[in-house]
Chains A and B, each alone.
Chain A
Amino acid sequence: MFKKILIANRGEIALRVIRTCRAMGIDTVAVYSEADRNSLHVQLADEAYYIGPPPSVQSYLNIENLIEAAKKANADAVHPGYGFLSEKVEFATALKEAGIKFIGPTPENIESMGDKLASRELMKAAGVPTVPGTEGSVSSVEEAEEAAKEIGYPVIIKASAGGGGKGIRVVTDPKELASSFRACQSEGKNYFKDDRVFIERFIQNPKHIEVQVFGDTHGNVVHLFERECSVQRRHQKLIEESPSISVPEEVRNKMGEVAVAAAKAINYEGAGTIEFIFDNNTKEFFFMEMNTRLQVEHPVTEMVTGYDLVAEQIRVAAGEPLSFKQEEIQQKGHAIELRICAEDPSTFAPAPGKIRICRHPQGPFIRCDSYAYPGYEVPIHYDPMITKLICWGATREECIDRIKRALAEFMLTGIKTNIVLHKNIIRHPAFIDGSYTTQFVDKEFTGKKHRELFMFIDENVFLIAGAIEAYKKQSSKDFSKLSLASRWKDSGRAQQLRG
């Protein structure tokens, strides 16, 4: 087993990894940029090394500096976390050359899944379903009709160079295919000087569902069930849960099998995630991509399966076989994770700044992975996510109730956060009944007026407190009230007046 691990990351994920290392008796090494001098991961690790100026390219993405720090610290392994260098072949290779173990998949694994088109072909060959569509362009109406029939309606016709709403048509009724096909072809020709046209299945109610997989160096591959991550804004996830309320049992099993087959096809080592686009009408699922790292949302899987995924990553990297077999893994109860970000809840504009008061939710079945603390200044250089709030319940209903309770306890002042948006989402009928799709936040919340979101606390609380503080501030500036004489004189004068 490793003696010392360097964590090539920051924020909550650095804390997450440090915590498991501690529990395993492994020493931890933090690295930090100039902007993170006072960050929590630096305070919690056994050792800390400075790796460069605030911009990521000069620090957390600087392979040379990181390897130098690892060598200086005499670390025998590096955990990359997520983001930054976690899926960079160059980093995995550079570590290998330096004789330091990269806690993650092999460079070959990363490479084979790095290219979207190539990985799709690879998966297709392994029998993993991909969105049905034409292999090349379609040139005649007859050819288009034939293809659409095979793909299955509804279909989307796309001009090869199309974009901005031009050269794209959705066809539900086969009778409309011919006219839409011709329209796309001519739009492509007129607007983009390219009349090549493709046909693909149109997914009406798309959901983002992913399966956690794990492989070891002994050829074992298992899956740890699915996570649904359809609540997204700006194509970034906001809420994740496991299990997904929309996936029927037999589809769940099939997804797991397919995910294992996909990982086996590339001899996958370590933690990975197979992302699918899920058609909520037909319950079909299609491969999108594989993430060759630990995901932000891994805690929901930990909560329902009871396994520490970081500990498992470390053991697998050290050459041990997986500590669980497929038939032992169970999905118990329900878990939901909310990403709390320093951002405006309606425009999603980042809102860094200094945290004044910070009190995290506590109590039964709540897990709060956070690097926020009072007095900490959230830097402008990195991701706005500061906290992950994770809840477990025996049922989804119980889990949602606990999340509501936890959110009501969350106290964070000095910076804007999306806590209030989460309060709204978890009360929304489409979230409660599970019918939400990847367009949910865009459709229901984007651009919402603040007053439509902020409705959980009596307006008067804000107005009264604001007004009293404004009064105090202005009174203190009022020189007529500032008496240079003593309070005794004041009281004497008052007595005289009374007399």
Chain B
Amino acid sequence: MHFEAKSNGVNYEINVREERKNWIVSIKPEQGEWERHVIPKEDYQVFDNAITFIYKQTSYLVDVLSKGINYEVYTRGSYRTLELFNDEMLLHESLKGRKGLGGGNTLGSGMPGKIVKVMVKEGDEVKEGDPILIMEAMKMENEMRASRDAKIKKIHVKPGDSVEGGATLVTYE
């Protein structure tokens, strides 16, 4: 199965093949060569809702959380947020009506919080990185910025509103 992935700002191509005893995972970074990893299933086991993975003689307890094409992979007090997808997955995502890659048409709340201030109004033209609104979560005010150049089509919230995680705050044209 073929995937494209993005991690830490680098693009990869990945091929995964399942054999009876092994996982064959080949990885190619954007500017590099294919590298083939033979992972014995013995070394990659599901254990108590997590994965124990022995890689190059080091054991990692790995936890993978996926939301659509976003994969959060945690291990050893560290984590990566990967974008991992192939055509089929992208199709699946677009059918669900969610935003695709490259910014999307909405500004969503990453976490639950309260809207403190809205700096734009409907019809405004914004540039990538322009502040759109301020949201308070965990006692801190966080500025939400435009992910791309866009025109504001609709603002779904007003100051004082409490929003859930994943709520759509602003729609772009």
Contact = CB atoms under 8 A, between A and B. Distances in A.
Interface in A247-305: none
Interface string B60-101: 111111100001011111111010101011001000000000
A131 interface: no
B102 interface: no
B25 A464 contact: yes
A117 interface: no
Given A462-B80, A467-B3, A467-B25, A414 B71 contact: no
Contacts of B31: none
Contacts of A409: 77
Interface in A353-390: 353, 356-357, 380-384
B66 A474 contact: no
B57 to A, nearest CB: 12
Contacts of A64: none
Contacts of A410: 76-77
Given A350-B140, A413-B74, A471-B18, A458 B63 contact: no
B63 A351 contact: no
B111 A451 contact: no
B37 A356 contact: no
A380 B113 contact: yes
B77 A380 contact: no
A151 interface: no
Given A451-B8, A463-B14, A456 B78 contact: yes
Contacts of A461: 53, 55, 60, 62, 73, 75
Contact of B76 (A381, A408, A459): A408
A96 interface: no
B40 interface: no
A382 B140 CA distance: 9
B5 to A, nearest CB: 6
B76 A411 contact: yes
A343 B73 CA distance: 16
B113 to A, nearest CB: 6
Instruction: Name, among A382, A410, A460, the residue most crowded by chain B CB atoms within 10 Å (CB to CB).
Output: A460
A446 to B, nearest CB: 14
A352 B138 contact: yes
Given A411-B61, A414-B63, A461-B55, A382 B73 contact: no
A39 B1 CA distance: 43
Interface in B2-24: 3, 5, 7-10, 12, 14, 16, 18, 23
A465 B76 contact: no
Interface string A328-353: 00000000000000110000111111
A382 B78 CA distance: 23
Interface string B18-47: 100001010100000001010100001000
A465 B64 contact: yes
A464 B24 CA distance: 9
Interface residues of B, number: 55
Contacts of A451: 8-10
A348 B12 CA distance: 27
A464 B27 contact: yes
Nearest to B12: A463
Interface stretch (A23-31, A215-223, A415-423, A484-492): A415-423
Nearest to A419: B77
Contact of A420 (B18, B66, B78): B78
Contacts of B56: 458
A389 to B, nearest CB: 11
A482 interface: no
A466 B81 CA distance: 10
B53 A465 contact: yes
A379 B25 CA distance: 38
B27 A462 contact: no
B14 A467 contact: yes
A449 B10 CA distance: 12
B50 A384 contact: no
Contacts of B75: 411, 413, 457, 461-462, 465
Contacts of A407: 77
A469 B137 contact: no
Interface string A425-466: 000000000000000000000000111001011111111111
Contacts of A449: 8-9
B66 to A, nearest CB: 6
Contact of B138 (A382, A412, A450): A382
A165 to B, nearest CB: 20
B76 A471 contact: no
Contacts of A474: 1, 86, 88-89
A498 interface: no
Contacts of A468: 16, 23, 25, 39, 44
Contacts of A419: 77-78
Contacts of A462: 7, 73, 75, 80, 82
A175 interface: no
A72 interface: no
19 contacts: A349-B110, A356-B63, A357-B49, A380-B138, A383-B138, A383-B139, A384-B140, A411-B76, A416-B79, A450-B9, A456-B78, A459-B8, A464-B25, A464-B27, A465-B44, A467-B5, A467-B16, A467-B25, A471-B18
Interface of A: 234, 342-343, 348-353, 356-357, 380-384, 407-414, 416-417, 419-420, 423, 449-451, 454, 456-471, 473-475, 477
Can you list the 10 inter-chain pairs with the closest CB atoms, starting with the nearest?
Answer: A350-B138, A413-B74, A413-B63, A451-B8, A410-B77, A471-B16, A462-B80, A419-B77, A469-B64, A466-B71
